[in-house]
Amino acid sequence: MRSDGRIKGLRAVSALAALALMVGGCASIKDHRGYLIDPALTGSVQPGIDNRTSVERALGQPTFKSEFGKQIWYYVSIDTRQRPFKRPQAKTQNVLMVSFDDKGNVASVERRGMEKVVSLNPDAHKTPTLGRTRSFFEDLFGNIGSVGAIPGQGGQGGGPAGSGPNGS
């Protein structure tokens, strides 16, 4: 009789452990990507006072730099959350944009958030292409008769023996 009680107790414990593992697997995953923003350091960059060297010493290398036009350094920070079986979604985003004049001095400092984030939802259908639409069977059997055919004769053969593309 005692062994039955122990077996029931072990079953209950194993069921609770399995339940705890399943519930733990359903937790959201939080992640940080990009630059770690320190408000004290980003607040110390001031237009007219700092230059490229002082900004790089205070904030480090930017996430990316503008390639064309006005010289702008971007420091990008994104916090994401991913729910089970879903794609990660941005919850907060901070972008620090430091613009420089022609002499390399800081011209302006701007901060942006989630207002510039665009959510794209691609169409799950096939991409339309130019050309003929073929069925499954045309794709499967469409090359029968055209392999080894003489160019320009459309897969009909008709040429003399021994005049194929490989001399056969």
pLDDT at 154 over 60: no
The pLDDT of residue 153: 62
Residue 95 maps to a domain: yes
**Where in the sequence is the domain holding 59, given as residue range(s)?**
27-116
pLDDT at 100 over 90: yes
State how far the Cα of 39 lies from the Cα of 50, in Å rounded to an integer: 17
Percent of the chain with pLDDT over 90: 21
State how far the Cα of 149 lies from the Cα of 163, in Å rounded to an integer: 10
- Which residues, 6 or more positions from 104, have their beta carbon under 8 angstroms from its beta carbon? 51, 52, 71
Residue 108 maps to a domain: yes
Most confident of 13-27, 38-52, 134-148, 151-165: 38-52
Q: 88: domain CATH number?
A: 3.30.1450
Residue 50 maps to a domain: yes
Residue 102 maps to a domain: yes
What region, left, alpha or beta, does residue 97 occupy, with left being phi > 0 and alpha being psi -120 to 50 degrees?
A: beta
19: three-class secondary structure by DSSP = helix
The pLDDT of residue 43: 87
Number of domains in the chain: 1
